[in-house]
């Protein structure tokens, strides 16, 4: 019997790891440049955290969470996102009062029971940032600038930024009423989910992908036209900063995002190369979330993106490529003494930081040479009993086919390979 993978959860195999590391390194390096510090939080949280934080009426909370009781019948959930956990940690650490301004980033797996397709999985991996403790529009611009900078670092083109403001809690109430009036006359022609959404939260109708609902969504009034003076001013200043920084955006008056904690600025970075799952990353402000979790009024904002989608874009030839793999040296061996020398040399050379491999299956020399090629070894040493006795051999540079006589000591080999590199 063999076991199957769980649907929508994938192994990330050695052939793809280079792409993942490239994307992760871009995130870590961008975070360093923008001075965001890394935080790692548990994969499991109390269900309540996400239900209250993200909103009961959202698709994520309503139908996509992996929720189960623990042995004491407490309801736990595999994290579907990072923002709620960051805010929880922020409060647990007492930062809300002692160090309210925080810039944090995270990388890690998230879980949502969605219908799997290209770029949409049940275990996926997010990179995200959260900046807490400032309402200043320059921080909104910094967060958006971070997203662009990371993509620039990876050389990814064909991207565009959707931007909107959904205003403060009061504006959202007003906008909800406006949407209710707009959709009510058509509700019979809309999908069953949208029926429910009209009562629970009409903003969620704007995320609906059902074709029958699109004509009514396209006609819906935009949120940015119904902002209070403070929120309109904030949105204007965010746009001014983006203009000043030369960061492009397109206003999308119906962008509301699928999570309930958002206030004011919302944005998504879209890729022309992703097909239907074309949102590379998304985020916005959540100025009420710390308070929802029992903390003092504290603004916050951030974004998260999916590594799976980023890797698809990179593998389609958009931008940077991972360095070619391969090892520094393969030690082929013949006979007992040759093999002994190979095993001991490999140990010392690995300790010196070289990537070195040997044969472990007692293969004929010809097969060992094939293996050296398969491993893309940059150098080859063949060690037989003669080499073991004389402690001299010939090291071959594989690409050029050049051979050089060499003393078979770790120091001499390290020196030779360092010169070659």
Place of tokens 């955290």: 49
Number of residues that make up the chain = 421
Give the separation between CA 33 and CA 299, rounded to whole angstroms: 23
CB contact at 8 A, 89 and 42 = no
Q: Which residue number, 279 or 377, has a Cβ lying nearer to ligand HAM?
A: 279
Q: How far is the CB of 365 from ligand HAM (least distance, A)?
A: 47
Sheet with 44-46, edge to edge strand ranges = 44-46, 75-78, 67-69
Interaction between residue 126 and ligand HAM (CB under 6 A): yes
Is 45 near ligand HAM (CB under 6 A)? no
Tokens of 70: 């623990």
The answer to whether 338 contacts ligand HAM (rule: CB under 6 A) is no
Q: Is 120 in the site for ligand HAM (CB under 6 A)?
A: yes
CA-nearest of 275, 277, 280 to 306 is 280
Residue 304 lies near ligand HAM (rule: CB under 6 A): yes
Binding track, positions 356-385, relative to ligand HAM; x by CB under 6 A: ------------------------------
Indicate the residue among 152 and 420 with the shorter CB distance to ligand HAM: 152
Separation between Cα atoms, residue 179 and residue 193, nearest integer Å: 16
Q: Is 129 or 190 the residue whose CB approaches ligand HAM more closely?
A: 129
Quick count: other Cβ atoms within 10 Å of Cβ 253? 15
β-strands 123-132, 102-111 pairing: antiparallel
For ligand HAM, which is the closer residue by CB, 81 or 387? 81
Q: Which of residues 63-92 bind ligand HAM (CB under 6 A)?
A: 81-83
Distance of CA 72 to the CA centre of its chain: 33
Q: Is there binding between residue 159 and ligand HAM (CB under 6 A)? A: no
Q: How far is the CB of 168 from ligand HAM (least distance, A)?
A: 16
Ramachandran angles phi, psi of 75, nearest 5° = -85, 120
Does residue 128 touch ligand HAM according to CB under 6 A?
A: yes
Token pair, residue 47, equals: 């269900």
Q: Per CB under 6 A, does 281 bind ligand HAM?
A: yes
Among 87, 227, 280, 332, binds ligand HAM (CB under 6 A): 280
Of 89-97, 179-187, 279-287, 372-380, which segment contacts ligand HAM by CB under 6 A?
279-287
Site string for ligand HAM, 257-276 (x = CB under 6 A): -xx-----------------
Report in angstroms the alpha-carbon separations of 322 from 15, 16, 198.
11, 9, 47
State which of residues 45, 59, 130, 387 lies at the interface with ligand HAM (CB under 6 A).
Answer: 130
Q: Binders of ligand HAM: how many residues, by CB under 6 A? A: 27
Among 50, 235, 267, 303, binds ligand HAM (CB under 6 A): 303
| CA separation for the pair 387, 374 (Å, rounded) | 24
288 belongs to the binding site for ligand HAM (CB under 6 A): no
24 binds ligand HAM (CB under 6 A): no
Q: Residue ranges of the alpha helices (H) in 11-54?
A: 14-34, 47-54
Rounded-to-integer distance, Cα 9 and Cα 173, Å: 38
Q: Is 308 in the site for ligand HAM (CB under 6 A)?
A: yes
CB of 303 to ligand HAM, least distance (A): 5
For 247, the enclosing helix (H) or strand (E) is none
CB of 110 to ligand HAM, least distance (A): 7
Q: How far is CA 321 from CA 20, 153, 276, in A?
A: 10, 12, 24
Q: Which of 53, 295, 305, 338 binds ligand HAM (CB under 6 A)?
A: 305
Nearer to ligand HAM, 303 or 330 (CB): 303
CB 159 within 8 A of CB 249: no
DSSP state of 118: T
Under the rule (CB under 6 A), what is the footprint of ligand HAM? 81-83, 112, 114, 119-121, 124, 126, 128, 130, 258-259, 279-284, 302-306, 308-309
């Amino acid at each position: 019997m063999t076991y199957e993978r769980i649907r929508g959860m994938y192994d990330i195999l050695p052939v793809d790891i280079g792409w993942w590391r490239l994307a992760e390194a871009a995130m870590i390096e961008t975070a360093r440049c923008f001075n965001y510090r890394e935080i790692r939080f548990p994969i499991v949280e109390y269900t309540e955290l996400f239900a209250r934080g993200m909103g009961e009426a959202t698709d994520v909370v309503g139908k996509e969470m992996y929720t189960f009781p623990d042995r004491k019948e407490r309801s736990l959930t595999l994290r579907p996102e990072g923002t709620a956990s960051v805010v929880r940690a922020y409060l647990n650490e007492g930062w809300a009062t002692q160090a309210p301004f925080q810039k944090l980033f995270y990388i890690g797996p998230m879980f949502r029971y969605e219908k799997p397709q290209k770029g949409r999985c049940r275990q996926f991996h997010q990179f995200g940032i959260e900046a807490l403790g400032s309402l200043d529009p320059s921080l909104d611009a910094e967060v958006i600038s971070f997203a662009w900078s990371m993509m620039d670092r990876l050389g990814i083109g064909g991207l565009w930024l959707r931007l909107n403001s959904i205003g403060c809690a009061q504006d959202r109430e007003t906008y909800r009423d406006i949407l209710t009036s707009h959709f009510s006359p058509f509700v019979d022609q809309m999908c069953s989910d949208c029926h429910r959404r009209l009562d629970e939260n009409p903003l969620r109708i704007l995320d609906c992908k059902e074709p029958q609902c699109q004509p009514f969504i396209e006609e819906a009034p935009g949120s940015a036209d119904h902002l209070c003076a403070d929120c309109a001013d904030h949105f204007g200043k965010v746009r001014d900063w983006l203009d000043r920084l030369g960061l492009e955006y397109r206003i999308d008056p119906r962008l509301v995002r699928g999570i309930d904690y958002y206030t004011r600025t919302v944005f998504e970075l879209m890729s022309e190369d992703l097909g239907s799952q074309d949102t590379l990353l998304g985020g916005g402000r959540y100025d009420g979330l710390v308070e929802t979790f029992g903390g003092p009024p504290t603004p916050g904002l951030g974004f998260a993106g999916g590594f799976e989608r980023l890797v698809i874009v990179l593998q389609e030839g958009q931008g940077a490529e991972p360095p070619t793999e391969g090892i520094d040296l393969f030690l082929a061996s013949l006979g007992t003494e040759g093999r002994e020398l190979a095993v001991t040399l490999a140990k010392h050379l690995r300790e010196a930081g070289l990537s070195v491999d040997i044969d472990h299956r007692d293969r004929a020399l010809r097969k060992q040479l094939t293996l050296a090629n398969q491993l893309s070894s940059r150098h080859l040493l063949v060690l037989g009993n003669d080499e073991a006795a004389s402690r001299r051999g010939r090291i071959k540079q594989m690409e050029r086919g050049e051979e050089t006589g060499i003393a078979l000591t770790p120091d001499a080999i390290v020196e030779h390979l360092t010169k070659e590199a």
